[in-house]
């Protein structure tokens, strides 16, 4: 695990190839088909060299959640274990990891007609109106959210109106699924090095055709609350396509947003996974290889 741009995928590829095992992608954006460049998705060549799971497993406008990812990850872990392999989980989405290692509430699926109705209401009355509705329906959860957090407000209202039960109550119910016990390794990169690397990567993505990819996403006409529309980098370039700013400003904002996201990831893994083993790529390659050797890989 680790912040975006630290080189997690390259390290995981090296270890997986040496051990003859597979990778399970723990990235909330790489699972969407069509979002390749801006998510730094593993290439076809890399996926041919090492089996990758939970990449390109969701077609827009469908949406993934931490609970859905954890369920699928468990399926792949079990299948790999039955073949005598211990897969490596690689990515930077801490909430997904938490759902896997600590369990999750088995929340029922949202009624799509409910979501569509709420999206229309949001466009007509605004997010503040939806927040007021949530304060009535699920005050405990509303107290933990900001008035402008449209994505989480929409999610909470959709769950409540689809199931008749507040999302906060669902979250309090422990799922009847044991947590996965596994060591966590966090790849660290010196702050200034990472900041420059992220800027360079954003420019390289533009050169590789990222803007065309964002145009394709823009044409999907997804609601603003969809996770793909709120992805770091994509969100800023979508503003450019909507004539809200220049391309130069959008790219500058994308770099800034990516750096801030990386900083939040570093903080999250430091505080939410205190038992994780931290190190650079050289040290972690040794540590992870040793851990695999202990289980016979």
Per-residue pLDDT in tens (0 to 9) along the chain, 297 residues: 999 999 999 999 999 999 999 999 999 999 999 999 999 999 999 999 999 999 999 999 998 888 889 989 999 999 999 999 999 999 999 989 988 888 766 677 788 788 889 999 999 999 999 999 999 999 999 999 999 899 899 999 999 998 888 988 887 765 555 678 889 999 999 999 999 999 999 999 999 999 999 999 999 999 888 889 989 999 999 999 999 999 999 999 999 999 999 999 999 999 888 899 999 999 999 999 999 988 877
Same fold, 8-106+182-294 and 112-172: no
DSSP 108: P
- Domain boundary assignment for the chain: 8-106+182-294, 112-172
CATH number for the domain whose boundaries are 112-172: 1.10.20.140
Q: Distance of CA 113 to CAs 107, 110, 117, 216, 283, Å? A: 17, 9, 6, 25, 50
Residue 123, token pair as written in the block: 């466009």
Torsion sign over Cα 49, 72, 91, 149? positive
Give domain 8-106+182-294's CATH superfamily: P-loop containing nucleotide triphosphate hydrolases (3.40.50.300)
SS3 128: helix
pTM for this predicted structure: 0.79
């Amino acid at each position: 695990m680790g912040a975006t741009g630290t080189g997690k995928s390259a390290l995981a590829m090296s270890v997986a190839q040496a051990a003859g095992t597979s990778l399970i992608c723990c990235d909330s954006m790489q699972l969407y088909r069509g979002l390749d460049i801006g998510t730094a998705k593993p290439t076809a060549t890399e996926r041919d060299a090492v089996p990758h799971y939970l990449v390109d497993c969701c077609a827009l406008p469908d949406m993934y959640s931490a609970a859905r990812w954890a369920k699928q990850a468990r399926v792949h872990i079990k299948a790999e274990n039955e073949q005598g392999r211990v897969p490596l989980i690689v990515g930077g989405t801490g909430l997904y990891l938490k759902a896997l290692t600590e369990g999750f509430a088995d929340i029922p699926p949202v009624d799509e007609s409910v979501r569509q109705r709420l999206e229309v209401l949001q466009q007509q009355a605004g997010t503040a109106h939806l927040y007021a509705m949530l304060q009535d329906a699920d005050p405990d959860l509303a107290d933990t959210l900001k008035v402008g957090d449209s994505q989480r407000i929409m999610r909470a209202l959709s769950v409540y109106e689809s199931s008749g039960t507040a999302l906060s109550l669902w979250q309090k119910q422990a799922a009847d699924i044991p947590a996965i016990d596994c060591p966590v390794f966090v790849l660290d990169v010196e702050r200034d090095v990472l900041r420059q690397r992220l800027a360079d990567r954003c420019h390289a993505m533009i050169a590789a055709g990222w803007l065309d990819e964002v145009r394709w996403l823009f044409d999907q006409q997804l609601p603003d609350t969809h996770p793909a529309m709120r992805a770091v980098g994509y969100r800023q370039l979508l503003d450019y396509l909507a004539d809200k700013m220049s391309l130069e400003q959008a790219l500058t904002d994308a770099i800034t947003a990516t750096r801030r996201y990386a900083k939040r990831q570093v903080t999250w893994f430091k505080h939410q996974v205190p038992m994780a083993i931290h190190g650079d790529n050289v040290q972690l390659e040794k540590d992870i290889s040793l851990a695999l050797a202990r289980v016979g890989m």
